[in-house]
Amino acid sequence: MDGETFGQVLRDSRRKRRLSLRKMQLLTSYDFTYLGQVERGEKNGSVELAAVCDRALGMDGTLVEKYRRASAPPTPAPLEDEMLRRTAIKAMAATPLAFVDAEQRAGHEPQVARLEHQAEIYRHLYHGASAPADLLTLVHDHLDDAAHLMRDLSDGDLKRRVLRTRSEVATLAGRLAFFDLCRPTEARGYYGLAHESATQTGDDLLAAAALGHLAFLPAAEGNASAAVDYLGGAAQHARRTGMPIVQSWIAAVESEVLTPVHPAGTLRALEQATRLLAGPADDAVPAWFDYYSGDRLDGFRGRALLQLGRSDEARASLTSALRGLGPGAVKQRAVFLFDIAASYLGSTPDVDRACALAGDAAATLAIAGYATADSRLREFRGQIRAWDHTSAVVEFDERLGALTA
């Protein structure tokens, strides 16, 4: 390694982990063409790049050390330096893990730690991923790596850690397959793997998450009974976790499942979700449970009320949910905007306002592809068909055309 340049070490390390440059782009937020230029020696890189790649590849500071030992690169142009600095800060914030001294590690510990570290990166990438199919490929490879590693592990703490990580990542894969890419058959397999891994390691929280997500599949097929059965299993796991927020999420999912078939049950489920969310927790909620909160409950409530024809109440809940979203929640923002737009088509329609909001949602959807939001777009377009002759709808269609051109 001493005779190699920083770029050569980066390239060799990436290839050893079977990562393409495009996958490295997903992991680091650096453009793949720039990464290739650094590897070929056409650009010098930076210590920030070295740190980000170090974390992404789990190299315990090796790349940073190599970069610092290399001859000092020329000072980049101010604009390029600022762009690279901002990109590096963003990527490093996405992976806030400290370096670990390699000499203190032994056996399979580094591989297990790397799997856990990568799971954290994937979780961060999910909410704003503009290329969900690419991220799913990366996540699928991670699951394969976990399976290979488990063959070499005996029962014990390391194996339990791999099982927990595999369950978390398999649930994430299921979400990508179902919500982002509309591939329910793939999603079913991933959620099944997540539940299997969670039960094998005795993690009720992960098991509840897997079954709760699995309920969305039969619900989408109109099979509310099967969905409720899955939620019943999820609730049993959740009650053993000592985390009311998980039970609240399951009740919120039940409200969505029941809306088309049992309005009264929907409202009871929302009341239960609200009550549970206010309850004290025995333990801290794990970082991977990042898809539910009071704001997300407002989103569930708003969607249910919208489908029940209570447009004004729905709009209030959805607007509250939208305000609570972080800047990185691009996909959910598009969904909430479409639902708010639809709320303006109630008993006293405001088609201009509805189309303006739906246009904003479509612009957001163009940034981050998301099958769930895309289905909301098709639903909204069907709802405004009666106003096709109006200027608001004509302008909306023109805006859609410009976004997809």
- Residue 88: its pLDDT value, please? 44
Largest Cα separation within the chain, whole Å, is 74
Residue 315 has a CB neighbour count (10 Å cut-off) of 20
With a CB cutoff of 8 Å and minimum separation 6, the contacts of 33 are 21
| Degrees to nearest 5, angle at CA 322 with 321 and 325 | 90
Question: What single DSSP character describes residue 347?
Answer: S
The token pair that represents 113 in the structure block: 């730690």
Question: What single DSSP character describes residue 74?
Answer: P
Given a contact cutoff of 8 angstroms between Cβ atoms, the answer to whether 369 and 357 are in contact is no
The predicted-structure confidence for 256-294, as pLDDT tens digits, reads as follows 999 999 999 999 999 999 999 998 887 889 999 999 999
Helices (H) and strands (E) in the chain, counts: 21, 0
With a CB cutoff of 8 Å and minimum separation 6, the contacts of 70 are 5, 6
The token pair that represents 193 in the structure block: 């793997």
The token pair that represents 203 in the structure block: 């993690």
Residue whose token pair is 């053993």:
240
Summarize the confidence of residues 356-379 as an average pLDDT.
90
Given a contact cutoff of 8 angstroms between Cβ atoms, the answer to whether 280 and 236 are in contact is no
The predicted-structure confidence for 144-158, as pLDDT tens digits, reads as follows 999 999 998 888 999
What is the rounded CA–CA span in Å between residue 55 and residue 91?
A: 10
Q: Would you say residue 128 has pLDDT above 50? A: yes
Given a contact cutoff of 8 angstroms between Cβ atoms, the answer to whether 153 and 104 are in contact is no
Greatest mean pLDDT range, 81-95, 107-121, 185-199, 319-333: 185-199
Given a contact cutoff of 8 angstroms between Cβ atoms, the answer to whether 321 and 295 are in contact is yes
With a CB cutoff of 8 Å and minimum separation 6, the contacts of 378 are none
The predicted-structure confidence for 203-221, as pLDDT tens digits, reads as follows 999 999 999 999 999 999 9
What is the rounded CA–CA span in Å between residue 343 and residue 259?
A: 16
What is the rounded CA–CA span in Å between residue 365 and residue 380?
A: 14
Nearest CA-CA partner of 20 in 4, 36, 8: 36
What is the rounded CA–CA span in Å between residue 92 and residue 158?
A: 26
Q: Which CATH class is domain 6-99?
A: mainly alpha
Residue 42 has a CB neighbour count (10 Å cut-off) of 10
What is the rounded CA–CA span in Å between residue 339 and residue 375?
A: 11
With a CB cutoff of 8 Å and minimum separation 6, the contacts of 389 are none
The domains of the chain are located at 6-99, 106-202, 231-282+292-318, 332-405
Of 28-37, 274-283, 348-357, which gets the smallest average pLDDT? 28-37
The token pair that represents 198 in the structure block: 């969670």
